[in-house]
Amino acid sequence: MKSKKLWILVAILGIVCGIYAIQFRTNLVASEKTSNTKAIEANPDDPNIYRSRGNAHYDRGNYDKAITDFTKAIELNPEDRDAYLWRALAYKRKDDIVKAISDHTKVIEINPKDSSGYLYRGMTYEVLAYTSGGKNHYDKAIADYTKAIELNPDVAPYIYIHRGTLYFNRGSAFATIHDYDLAIIDCTKAIELEPKSAELDPKSAKRYNIRGRAYSIKGQRDKAITDFTKAIELDPKYADAYFYRGLTYCVGIGDYDKAREDIRKAQSLGKKVDPKVLKDIREASQAASYFTLGSHKDDVLKVQGTPDSINRYTALGHEVWRYGFSTVDFSIRNNRVVEWSNYGNLKIKLEPGRNVTTTKAPRQGHISCIVWTEDHRIAMIGTKLVREGDIIDGVTVVKIRMDRIEFEKDGKRWTQKEGDAPDPAWR
């Protein structure tokens, strides 16, 4: 009971101290503003006093009054770099981005060697890039950040993550894949330059998250997972890191249980997730238990595992994987399943909807393709490579022509073109 009372007293003390701190800051700013007003009355031509009072207005959120004082300071001293800088920040607070950029440009003109002018103007162009979507604003922000790094390498870690984020978002907006490489370079640089003491700072998590997203888009899934995990270690409440790690588990790795777990964790942390995302993960999980016509080679590998043997027929445009007595035939052109021969061990499923085509499983006697030259006359019947004179399923290959094959069985002869339905004699 005593322990509980002690904790209550500590909590009350903390609240009281917080209130006094806020009141102290408010009184301090008010006192400073009053003091500056009196100083202006005594020295109406001193630009420094107007700028000081403008800062007091800015701190209290009175941006219009702050702008008025900064403007007066500039009138009295047109080379007052700080007045331009603070007026630009006040304009930005009021979403008057054009005037903010104009003032930041003036700061640069007054002192071209001052990195902060480029830094703040870059941040303002960044706002324009995200609100208007214009590529030129991305380019201008990146150029300003680059100049700021050149002038002041000491602030590089902070600027690198800003520039890296811009590269990433420009890549996403305009499908420029090279920007993802630049984003990875900048985020890596920001991480390398960060002092060891900041590695535990939750704010550092963004660097790993952005780099992880770039890795994921580039197809480097393992590196992406590592970065998302590091971001989560730094900030266990980082919803975006959970969300994008979940997407990477789903799309890149095929671990749908972990994907669902991460997406739901992101939701619990306040991330708004389109219900279609979880639906797609569920459908992908179901589809991962089988393959069908049109499935990619990678999907077959996940479902069936490594084949016992692989035979590639480049001239015919086919590759055949063998699992025991069963075979799966792929088109070399797109690495997708075109047919199979199943002796019971293939995990195949045909169902209505997007997983099925009108083509059925390979039929006995089906001519997949014909390769005919003066020197070579070969064909693919089902999943078997044949030449003239070969016997397949009791049928003799009599003659291979450019567009058809002549067969014979039990005294019956017939001609069949590529793609024709097999003659009943095959059965």
Size of the chain, expressed as the number of residues it contains = 427
The pLDDT value recorded for residue 125 is 93
| DSSP per-residue letters across 45-62 | T-HHHHHHHHHHHHHTT-
- Chain segment 41-60, per-residue pLDDT in tens: 666 678 888 899 999 999 99
CB-CB contact of 209 with 228 (8 Å):
yes
Token output for 286 = 């179901």
Using one digit for the tens of pLDDT, what is the confidence trace for 278-293? 888 877 776 667 788 8
* Average pLDDT estimate for 323-348: 83
**What are the C-alpha distances in Å from 329 to residues 294, 314, 340, 342?**
11, 13, 6, 11
Asked if the model's pLDDT at residue 107 lies above 70, the reply is: yes
Class of domain 363-427: mainly beta
Could you give the residue range(s) of every CATH 1.25.40.10 domain in the chain? Answer: 37-287
Q: What is the pLDDT of residue 58?
A: 93
Do 86 and 58 form a contact (C-beta atoms < 8 A)? Answer: yes
- Higher per-residue pLDDT: 308 or 265: 265
Q: What integer pLDDT is reported at residue 398 of this predicted model?
A: 92
For the chain, residues classed under CATH 2.30.30 are 363-427
pLDDT at site 200: 57
For tokens 């490579």, name the residue.
385
- In this predicted structure, the answer to whether residue 413 has a pLDDT above a threshold of 60 is yes
pLDDT at 144: 94
Give the whole-angstrom CA distance, residue 414 versus residue 427: 14
**Residue 248 pLDDT exceeds 70:** yes
pLDDT greater than 90 at residue 303: no
Calculate mean pLDDT across residues 58-80: 93
| 383 — pLDDT class (breaks 50, 70, 90) | low
CA distance 158 to 269: 26
| CATH (one of 3.30.70.1140, 3.40.50.300, 1.25.40.10, 1.10.1450.10) for 37-287 | 1.25.40.10
pLDDT given for residue 335 in this prediction? 87
Lowest-confidence range among 143-152, 196-205, 317-326, 381-390?
A: 196-205
Averaged pLDDT of the chain: 81
| Rounded mean pLDDT, 121-134 | 89
Residues 229-254 have a mean pLDDT of 90
Mean pLDDT over 273-277 rounds to: 86
Average pLDDT over residues 258-286: 87
Q: Long-range contacts of range 377-382, CB-CB < 8 Å, 24 or more positions apart?
A: 378/315, 378/316, 379/405, 380/313, 380/316, 380/318, 382/339, 382/341
Work out the pLDDT band at 174, boundaries 50, 70, 90. Answer: confident
Residue 34 has pLDDT above 50, yes or no: yes
pLDDT band at 198 (very low <50, low <70, confident <90, very high): low
Q: What is the DSSP letter of 423?
A: P
What pLDDT, on a 0 to 100 scale, did the predictor assign at position 142? 94
Per-residue pLDDT at 39: 65
The predicted pLDDT at position 348 comes to 80
Per-residue confidence (pLDDT) for residue 386, from 0 to 100: 80
Q: Is residue 261 pLDDT above 80, yes or no?
A: yes
User: pLDDT at position 230, please?
Assistant: 94
pTM higher than the cut 0.85:
no
Percent helix, strand and coil across the chain, each rounded to 5? 60, 15, 25
DSSP code, position 362: P
pLDDT of residue 13: 46
- pLDDT of the residue at 360: 42
- Residue 90: CB atoms within 10 A of its CB come to 27
Q: Is residue 145 pLDDT above 80, yes or no? A: yes
pLDDT at 36: 60
Whose tokens are 């993802």? That residue is 180
- Between 145 and 201, the more confident residue is 145
